[in-house]
Amino acid sequence: MEKTKVAIVGSGNIGTDLMIKIIRNSDHLEMCAMVGIDPNSDGLARAKRLGFVTTAKGLAGLETMPEWKDIKIIFDATSAKAHHFNWGIVEKYSDKRIIDLTPAAIGPFLIPPVNFDASHNVRNVNMVTCGGQATIPMVAAVNRVAKVHYGEIVASIASKSAGPGTRANIDEFTETTAHAIEKVGGADKGKAIIILNPAEPPVVMRDTIFTLSEQGDRNAIRTSIHEMVKEVQQYVPGYSLHQEVQFDNIPEDQPVFIEGLGYRHGLKTTVLLQVRGAGHYLPEYAGNLDIMTSAAMATGDRLVNMKFS
């Protein structure tokens, strides 16, 4: 079976890990080009040693190369600001799609096990954030049983796994993730917090999800969460519940105040996750980067057989 040729823009940690995943694990994608702006980056050097086309002149540089015409999917692993420029190039070519791993959110949010079918028919899809990929499936799992009023996520990642791009996008991370909790997760109100944990040795990614929903069948919610965990594990094997799901009742006569919503009561659900990376290019503790590249590759693999309507 002929594979679809792809390019990765951004030769840092995320782009390099994605390249290795595509080489080792993709059923439908063929690595063709690695694009960066730092000629001395490790990602460009590795791609060149592996025999792929490389350029340190950004996506504009790749656009002038003969390989450009055969590339159908571009993964953008740069920054929110740079993505606006990169999409300006890709948008001109009707036969190409871009999968955005930055928080730019020009295209619709896409969380593979939640809303792939509603998002595939566009040429620019946004993978939200690492925290969003890890936690929004849990909000959606609760919401499909009991309407979620409020969803709050806390993503704790090893400081060593946060490169310059991640640090530059902290504000966009919280804003984009909160918006996606609402748009994709189904919450009326969303909030996102990120913690860069400086612990040595580095700890794996941990995520805590709180939802306040209408009262619902607790067993049904627990089952929904476990089923969603299995769906995510299909492309992120290191994704798991760190503890069993916890429930608390917020009684009507003791409601909590939620900014933007006012007083609410109902069922509080707490989900605690752990995401351990596959260790392809980055250490196992970098689960935050692993879930992002894994979700992006899974999306690319599914998009290759999709036609625009």
| CATH code where residue 120 lies | 3.40.50.720
**How many whole angstroms separate alpha carbon 233 and alpha carbon 238?**
7
309, part of any domain: no
Residue 286 is predicted with a pLDDT of: 96
Same domain, 53 and 25: yes
Total count of domains within the chain? 2
Same domain, 155 and 273: yes
The residue annotated as part of the active site, out of 130, 192, 232, 303, is 130
| CATH code where residue 256 lies | 3.30.360.10
Same domain, 105 and 203: no
Residue 231 is predicted with a pLDDT of: 98
**How many whole angstroms separate alpha carbon 181 and alpha carbon 184?**
6
Same domain, 151 and 277: yes
Strand segments (E) across the chain: 4-9, 29-35, 53-55, 73-76, 97-100, 124-126, 148-158, 189-197, 205-213, 239-241, 246-250, 256-258, 262-264, 266-275
Same domain, 278 and 146: yes
Q: Nearest 10 degrees: CA dihedral of 6, 12, 18, 22?
A: 50
Residue 291 is predicted with a pLDDT of: 97
Same domain, 138 and 121: no
167, part of any domain: yes
Same domain, 49 and 93: yes
308, part of any domain: no
Same domain, 176 and 204: yes
The answer to whether 32 is a known catalytic residue is no
Query: What is the span of the domain harbouring residue 251?
Result: 130-284
Same domain, 101 and 220: no
- pLDDT tens for each residue of the chain, 309 residues long: 789 999 999 999 899 999 999 999 999 999 999 999 999 999 999 999 999 999 999 999 999 999 999 999 999 999 989 999 999 999 999 999 999 999 899 999 999 999 998 877 799 999 999 999 999 999 999 999 999 999 999 999 999 998 777 788 888 899 999 999 999 999 999 999 999 999 999 999 999 999 999 999 999 999 999 999 999 999 999 999 999 999 999 999 999 999 999 999 999 999 999 999 999 998 999 999 999 999 999 999 999 877 654
Same domain, 191 and 275: yes
